[in-house]
Chains A and B, each alone.
Chain A
Amino acid sequence: MLTGMHLTAIGDNNMLLEPTDALDPSSPDDYVAELMEVLQKEEAQTLMYDLNQVPLIDQVYYNWLIRLNNLCRLANVELVIVNIRTTAAFSLAMSLKTAPPFKCSLDVDSARHGITASLQD
């Protein structure tokens, strides 16, 4: 089991990542290798990152998401951010200088049905 997150296979090669309070976004190296292993083992095609418990996304957390997105591209997995809170979306949109490279979806169900949004389409 990975520390700092719950990683669940939810069918159709989709995996759901729910970060816990123990996740340290300032140390992505602690998670990358192990995560890659799980994604490959499960033959994941989509990784849904649930931000429901994250009230605010600062630069450190955003960097972690970028790092995770890079990892997913290497593993040929699509990263989809789901359940972002309005406060987090607001603060992130105000601070971003470029469009985020990952896709976003309103919730897990929408993401499963391929309803995503991205400015990088």
Chain B
Amino acid sequence: MVKKKTEKKSTNQILVELFMTQVGAITNVIDEQGEKIFVTDNLLNTDEIKDYSLEFMELLVNVLHAGEKINRRGMEYKALRRFFTEFSNQIQVRGGTLDEFIRYTQFLQKVFLEGLEHDAKLTFEESRSVLLLVAGIFNDISLDVFNVYLEEKERTIQAQQDELKQTSTPITEIWDGVLTLPIIGTLDSSRTVAVMENLLSRIEQDRARVVVMDITGVVAIDSQVSHHLIQMMRAICLMGARAILTGIRPEIARALTSLNINLGDVVTRSTLSEGLKEAFIYLGVETCTVEEKARQK
């Protein structure tokens, strides 16, 4: 009696066969779902979805053909992951969210698993191994996509923080040789460094003779903030410009006195407008209304 020799198929082979027999149906379902998720939100057009589906299929087949087992360090697997990274990047650039992309990848996973149900020849063991393989691949993809979103989010937050730093301390030349620096919020070390660098460069560039620092927008002051203020005043003086501190609100004044901080010989004025007047006096500039000028004549 001759025993029929049956070759045990690898999980990759099972998946490739499943894929080959149902490629048409799988592609159609993926396209359809892709349109539902991405086209309705104008993230991708139909042609792009078809291209992406096709590329995904090719890359997946390459991964499955690369060996009996999936080599997670292999070029084919890396290419598949890179494809999803770039795909998710594009979705994000066009205003898509992580939810949409994860929904899409979960759907892809579901399509493959549903394909298993239609294949009655598969044993429990084979179904289980295919399930594990597919879940493993899509877990990696989900992790990659999540990391891409996280990195992009961090980049956005950093960019916003940088922009906030720039816009929260606008240095403006309001008169020839007079710069104003309204400080809003709080002054920590990193912000002080950034503001001082900008301010000193502007003094040099604009040949400024007076800098009016307005702290009306400073919410609270502690010894560190006041120390930073003094450092800024000194830096301004070292550049040869005169520093005028304005907008010291009663709460700030109380904090400064309770902290026993001596601003030394810093010129202070109550408001920005008073500070500007002081700057004009220092520069020898006299301002008057048209009527006043006419009367003088």
Contacts and interface: CB of A to CB of B under 8 A. Distances in A.
Given A116-B240, A117-B241, A90 B234 contact: no
A28 interface: no
A120 B265 contact: yes
A86 B236 CA distance: 10
Interface stretch (A14-22, A71-79, A96-104): A96-104
Contacts of B237: 99-100, 104, 117-119
B234 A119 contact: yes
Given A90-B196, A115-B209, A99 B236 contact: no
Contacts of B232: 93
A95 to B, nearest CB: 9
Given A89-B200, A93-B231, A96-B234, A107 B240 contact: yes
B241 A86 contact: no
Contacts of A118: 237, 265
A99 B264 contact: yes
Contacts of A93: 196, 231-232, 234-235, 238
A104 B240 contact: yes
Interface residues of B, number: 25
A50 to B, nearest CB: 12
Interface in A33-47: none
Interface string B202-240: 011001110000000000000000000001111111111
B60 interface: no
Nearest to A96: B234
Contact of B241 (A92, A96, A106, A111): A106
Interface in B241-297: 241-243, 264-266
Contacts of B200: 86, 89-90
A121 interface: yes
A94 interface: yes
Nearest to A105: B240
Contacts of A104: 237-240
Contacts of B197: 86, 90
Nearest to B235: A93
B201 interface: yes
Interface string B152-185: 0000000000000000000000000000000000
Interface of B: 196-197, 200-201, 203-204, 207-209, 231-243, 264-266
Given A92-B235, A104-B238, A106-B203, 16 more contacts: A84-B238, A84-B240, A86-B204, A86-B239, A94-B235, A99-B237, A104-B240, A106-B204, A107-B207, A115-B240, A117-B236, A117-B242, A118-B237, A118-B265, A119-B264, A119-B265
Closest 9 pairs (CB-CB, A-B): A93-B235, A106-B240, A86-B200, A105-B240, A89-B238, A93-B234, A117-B237, A104-B240, A117-B242
27 contacts: A84-B238, A86-B200, A86-B201, A86-B203, A89-B200, A90-B196, A90-B197, A90-B200, A92-B234, A92-B235, A93-B235, A94-B235, A96-B231, A99-B265, A100-B237, A104-B237, A104-B239, A104-B240, A105-B240, A106-B204, A106-B207, A117-B237, A119-B233, A119-B234, A119-B237, A119-B265, A119-B266
